[in-house]
Amino acid sequence: GDEKFQVVHNDGTRESMVLLTGLKNIFQKQLPKMPKEYIARLVYDRKHAGLAIVRPTLRVLGGITYRVFEERGFVEIVFCAVSSTEQVKGYGSRLMNQLKDYIRTAFEGRVEHFLTYADNYAIGYFKKQGFTKDITLEKSRWMGFIKDYEGGTMMQCTMVPKVRYCEVRELIALQRQTTKELVQAKCHSSQIHPGLVEVPVDPLSIPGIKEAGWTPGMQASPERSVRSAENRRMQQLVHSMQAFPAAWAFLHPVNPDEVLDYYEVITEPMDLSTMEAKVDADEYRTRDAFIYDAKLIFDNCRTYNGEGTTYYKCANRVENHFFEKIREWPD
Which residues are the active-site residues?
76
Radius of gyration of the chain (CA): 26
How crowded is residue 209: how many other Cβ atoms within 10 Å of its Cβ? 14
Gap between the Cα atoms of 307 and 296, Å rounded: 17
User: Maximum CA pair distance of the chain?
Assistant: 88
First to last CA, the chain: 51
Single-letter code of the amino acid located at 4: K
Gap between the Cα atoms of 33 and 118, Å rounded: 13
- CA 294 → CA 7, 21, 52, 135, 272, distances in Å? 42, 43, 37, 37, 8
Distance of alpha carbon 63 from the chain centroid? 18
Gap between the Cα atoms of 39 and 7, Å rounded: 18
- CA 15 → CA 24, 56, 99, 323, distances in Å? 14, 12, 20, 53
Fill in the DSSP letter of residue 79.
Answer: E
**Which residue in 104, 92, 38 sits closest to 64, CA to CA?**
92
**Which residue in 158, 92, 155 sits closest to 118, CA to CA?**
155
Helix 224-243 vs helix 310-326: crossing angle, to nearest 10: 140
Gap between the Cα atoms of 30 and 34, Å rounded: 9
Gap between the Cα atoms of 223 and 190, Å rounded: 32
